[in-house]
Amino acid sequence: MSSATASAALLKRQLKEMRTSIPGISCGLHDDDIYDWEEYPLMPPKMKFETPIWHPNIYENGTVCISILHPPEEDKYGYESAAERWLPVHTPETILLSVISMLSSPNDESPANIDAAKQWREDPAGFKKRARKCVRDTLEA
């Protein structure tokens, strides 16, 4: 089996596992291209919410900011060790589980959205109200 065939088989298996083993997650491929993640698994995939979301670890443009999605190198700011960042052992399933965990337990010490992090710390009720509004607005769109 060629390495291309083996990698395609691995990605297809991981996609199938995600579709069946993680409740509430919908996933698929862009244009049915199993290699849409061109540098996976050596570099982390990019993950972005396509609808507005109010969260300390999500940039205003929707890009997710968690350690395991940062490139595998030393953090120039000294906040994260290389071991906390991307490793090729991560699978799409472990990434999604990390994002699910981040959604309920934000890291407000290293926020991507400073205003959301401040509100998370200082006004939890207001934070929840604004986050729920994002969900309602998305559902109504």
Q: Tell me how far apart the alpha carbons of residues 140 and 94 are, in angstroms, rounded to a whole number.
A: 30
- How many angstroms separate the Cα of 86 from the Cα of each of 2, 42, 79? 26, 8, 14
Dist. CA 81–CA 96, nearest whole Å: 21
Task: Let me know if 27 is a catalytic residue.
Answer: no
Select which of 64, 65, 66, 112 is catalytic: 65
Cβ atoms within 10 Å of 98's Cβ, excluding its own: 17
Q: Which residues are catalytic?
A: 65
